[in-house]
Amino acid sequence: MDLLLVDDERLFVKGLSASLRKEGFQTFTAFNGREALEILKSVKIDLVLLDIMLPEMDGITLLRKIREKMRVPVIMLTAKDDYADMVLGLELGADDYVTKPFNTRVLVARINTIMRRLGTNNAGIESVEEGIIHSGKLAIDLNRRTMYKEGSEIDLTAKEFDILHTLVQNSGIVLSREKIYDIVWQELDCDTRTVDVHISRLREKIEDDTANPSYIITKWGAGYYFRRDGTR
């Protein structure tokens, strides 16, 4: 499940993102409303965690803009005594709220409750077998973090698998080098050369012809995307 965490407290975002990844979620992050809207335009997000206190555009205003165009579930993150904002957020279409500080397991329970109610189960992922994504000659086992090509296991490093998983989850969507680095490395200082090197090594392992790739495609000037069927 792909979550978008919108909060301007960078240490909080880094810690919560790490905790949510341990719980099996893929987490995108934004530190203001403008960044959040850009991500929502380009990535299929399953649920938004939205802090009310944001710079430039507060969470209530952002919620209004989200509700003008989409019905993605939203959980508001509020301070302990912001009862007026809690009520307003719910009236504007927020699905739930949690007050800071909170236990991550409580948040995960709220997320799962909302997704069960909406009948959403890993939206955007097409899997034939439980926990396994099939794409052309490739089979990606998410539970064992392994990949097979034509039935043979391909040895991937942890970062290579994370990059592949990120691209597959967003099949057909161009992700910039900066976004890939943010998701996989979870560091503020982006080194796009590192992304290019890992993509190059990953292509050597999964592509029949690295000069004419079928799966990981370069969108010049924009980034990379994954072509699900592996055909040109």
- In terms of pLDDT, which residue wins out, 113 or 11? 11
pLDDT band at 35 (very low <50, low <70, confident <90, very high): very high
The answer to whether residues 98 and 77 touch, using CB atoms and an 8 Å cutoff, is: yes
Q: Tell me the C-alpha distance between 194 and 12, whole Å.
A: 25
Q: What is the pLDDT of residue 136?
A: 80
Look at residue 92 and give its three-state secondary structure.
coil
Average pLDDT over residues 218-222: 90
Angle, CA of 71, 75 and 79, to the nearest 5°? 145
Whole-number percent of the chain with pLDDT over 90: 32
What count of other Cβ atoms lies within 10 Å of the Cβ of residue 16?
Answer: 21
> Is pLDDT at 128 greater than 90 in this prediction?
no
Average pLDDT over residues 7-19: 92
Radius of gyration of the chain (CA): 18
Average pLDDT over residues 95-103: 85
Any idea how long the chain is?
Answer: 232
In the chain, the N- to C-terminal Cα span, in Å, equals: 28
Q: Tell me the C-alpha distance between 188 and 228, whole Å.
A: 30
Domains of the chain: 2-118 (3.40.50.2300), 127-226 (1.10.10.10)
SS3 track for 182-223: HHHHCCCCCCHHHHHHHHHHHHHHHCCCCCCCCCEEEECCCE
Average pLDDT over residues 81-88: 71
Average pLDDT over residues 26-49: 91
Q: What is the pLDDT of residue 124?
A: 36
> Is pLDDT at 148 greater than 80 in this prediction?
yes
Q: What is the pLDDT of residue 183?
A: 85
- Cα–Cα nearest to 5, from 21, 192, 178, 91: 21
Whole-number percent of the chain with pLDDT over 70: 88
pLDDT band at 122 (very low <50, low <70, confident <90, very high): very low
Q: What is the mean pLDDT of the chain?
A: 84
Q: What is the pTM of this model?
A: 0.52
pLDDT band at 82 (very low <50, low <70, confident <90, very high): low
Residue 221: partners with Cβ closer than 8 Å, 6 or more residues away? none
> Is pLDDT at 119 greater than 60 in this prediction?
no
Helix 104-118 to helix 10-22 angle (10° resolution) is: 60
Q: What is the pLDDT of residue 96?
A: 87
Q: What is the pLDDT of residue 163?
A: 93
Average pLDDT over residues 143-164: 88
